[in-house]
Amino acid sequence: MIKKIMEGDRHAATLLIRSTEKLVANIVFRMINNYADRKDLIQDIYLKIFRYLPKFRFQSKLSTWVAHISYTTCLDHLQKYRPELIDIPDDDEWLLPEIAWQKINRETLDASQLLSVKERSEILEKLSATLPPLYRTLITLFHKEELSIDEIMNITGLPAGTVKNYLFRARKILKERLLDYYSKEHL
């Protein structure tokens, strides 16, 4: 496909975009809050992908390489505006969160169970949007895109221990916010 794209095959270029657009959108939407900036960044990302495609050396999966370009482009954008990328809590006690974005066989659920799963998913999405951009991105890459720690390391350039630590912290924050949400809801 890469060879065809470099030869000018528009169909191959379209296939590349279609096969990576969900991944790119997930990264951009998790890291960038401003809608207009999101659209511009997605365009910038694909321009970079096609510009640097001849330099792709097949040392990783193409999707990992695309995700790395997406991540670094968003990170560069964020650094221009200097928002807080990581909000590390002061305490050193890290509890294992009981949050799971697991695949559910929806065919085995009745209507009320399906509604409950949908509501929990929406609440989790809402609360995860309040996380700092880096935490949101790592949660998305690991739990939604189901990438390995090694793939996330390649995308972000962060060491494995840092990726694991940040994922742990992000889950802890989500757990606390979920507990707070449900305790307020039941008052």
Q: Which H or E element spans position 187?
A: none
2-81 placed in CATH 1.10.1740.10: yes
Q: Using CA atoms, how far apart are residues 185 and 180, in angstroms rounded to an integer?
A: 9
Q: Is the pLDDT of residue 117 over 50?
A: yes
Tell me which of 5-19, 55-69, 86-100, 137-151 is least confident: 86-100
* Topology (CATH level 3) of domain 106-185: Arc Repressor Mutant, subunit A (1.10.10)
Which conformational region is residue 146 in: left (phi greater than 0), alpha (psi within -120 to 50 degrees), or beta?
left
Q: Given this model, what pLDDT does residue 66 score?
A: 92
Residue whose tokens read 């528009």 = 10
CA-closest candidate to residue 80, choices 126, 41, 35: 41
Q: Given this model, what pLDDT does residue 96 score?
A: 30
pLDDT tens column, 141-186: 898 888 899 999 988 889 999 999 999 999 999 888 888 877 776 5
Where in the chain are the domains? 2-81, 106-185
Give the number of other Cβ atoms within 10 Å of residue 52's Cβ: 11
Q: 18 falls in which pLDDT band (50, 70, 90)? A: very high
Tell me which of 44-48, 104-108, 122-126 is least confident: 104-108
Residues with Cβ within 8 Å of 5's Cβ and at least 6 positions away in sequence, in order, are: 12, 13, 16, 50, 53
Mean pLDDT, residues 21-46 taken together = 90
The answer to whether residues 126 and 182 touch, using CB atoms and an 8 Å cutoff, is no
Q: Please spell the DSSP secondary structure of 44-58, one letter per residue.
A: HHHHHHHHHGGG--S
Global pTM value: 0.58
Q: Given this model, what pLDDT does residue 165 score?
A: 94
Average pLDDT over the chain, rounded to an integer: 79
Q: Using CA atoms, how far apart are residues 145 and 139, in angstroms rounded to an integer?
A: 9
